[in-house]
A and B are shown apart, each in its own frame.
Chain A
Amino acid sequence: MEQFAPVKRSKDGQPVRYLIVDDSVFARKNLARMIETFGGQVAAEAGDGLTAISEFDRTHPDIVLMDITMPQMEGIEAAERIVQQHPEARIVMVSSVGYQENIVAALQRGARHFVQKPVKPEVLYEVIKYVLGDDGAVANAAGAGA
């Protein structure tokens, strides 16, 4: 997999910490692998919306990558609840269901961005940088390819 210039937290230079939420272990592994190539760190994983809320409270990640269709509680509702409690939360919806209504609903309820599956690493990388804004900094790294 392509290696990217690491994106660090600008306040302390530490790796960006992610919460990955997807009911598919397979999809979580795939995202975790991408995050590693961005120089990030997986703070926690969750397989449904309810667990996502408790894992957010426990780990306070910099970014949440949230699937939409999940058991118990869907991603859009979980995103809304997290943002109600933590308005600063940066949530990126990651779903194969990418029609307009879904995207608009997610953004209206607090998500910052939307990435359609299958996730292209270069697209996710750009979205991460955009969502972090001034709170993220691209570090120079030997061998970085992007």
Chain B
Amino acid sequence: MKMELIQPFINAADAVLSQGLQGSTKVGNLTMEEEAYRRKGVAGMIALTGDIEGRIILDLEPQTAVKVASHYAGTELPESDALIKETIFELANQVVGNAISALNDQGFHFRVHPPLLLTSEQGDKTSEDTEALMICFETSLGNVFMNVALRYNRKRLSDHAAVGA
């Protein structure tokens, strides 16, 4: 997978987590995943289609999600499925929104689909040209995992090239 596709997502996640949680965020392990995605906690997925295709998964332990939500609200919030889902979706939207802003300003256009909750333990296996990168962000409130699997849409890119030629 091309690093220039992934870097905006790493930068965005780093910015969202460190600004939102007002603490330093450390980028921990980076691993390539060729096998099917294995959920760690509660995971939200956002799909992208267009010049770049694929998906981004944000995965948090439920307790970490509650701590994040409580931090944002400025008060201790009780754990609930709705709160956990809401927290993960908003974080995922912010990360993807920031990343696609950077990519869009570079000329890439795509559609961002609404977040989905991943309920199965295991996701789809990645294909040859969309192997996934798993990044662990270590924050003061717990680890946040981001799994990015993206590829260029060759047809769209060649269409652009043909129009530009």
Contact = CB atoms under 8 A, between A and B. Distances in A.
Interface of A: 1, 24-27, 29-30, 33, 69, 95-102, 116-118, 120
Q: Taking each of B15, B86, B96, which has the highest tally of chain A beta carbons within 10 Å of its own beta carbon?
A: B86
Interface of B: 15-16, 19-20, 69, 72-74, 83, 86-87, 89-90, 93-98, 100-101, 104-105, 112
Contacts of A33: 72-74
A96 B74 contact: no
Contacts of A98: 97-98, 101
B86 A118 contact: no
Contacts of A97: 97, 100-101, 112
Contacts of A30: 72-73
Contacts of B86: 24-26
A37 B74 CA distance: 11
Given A26-B86, A118-B15, A118-B19, 20 more contacts: A1-B74, A24-B86, A25-B86, A26-B73, A30-B72, A30-B73, A33-B73, A69-B93, A69-B97, A69-B112, A95-B97, A96-B16, A96-B93, A96-B95, A98-B97, A98-B101, A101-B104, A116-B98, A117-B97, A118-B20
Contacts of B87: 26
B122 to A, nearest CB: 27
Main secondary structure of the interface of B (DSSP, over half): helix
A24 B100 contact: no
A101 B98 CA distance: 14
Given A24-B89, A26-B86, A96 B73 contact: no
29 contacts: A1-B74, A26-B73, A26-B83, A26-B86, A26-B87, A30-B73, A33-B72, A33-B73, A69-B97, A96-B93, A96-B94, A96-B96, A96-B98, A96-B101, A97-B97, A97-B100, A97-B112, A98-B98, A98-B101, A99-B100, A99-B104, A100-B104, A116-B98, A117-B94, A117-B98, A118-B15, A118-B16, A118-B20, A118-B94
Contacts of B19: 118, 120
Contacts of A24: 86, 89-90, 93
Contacts of B90: 24, 26-27
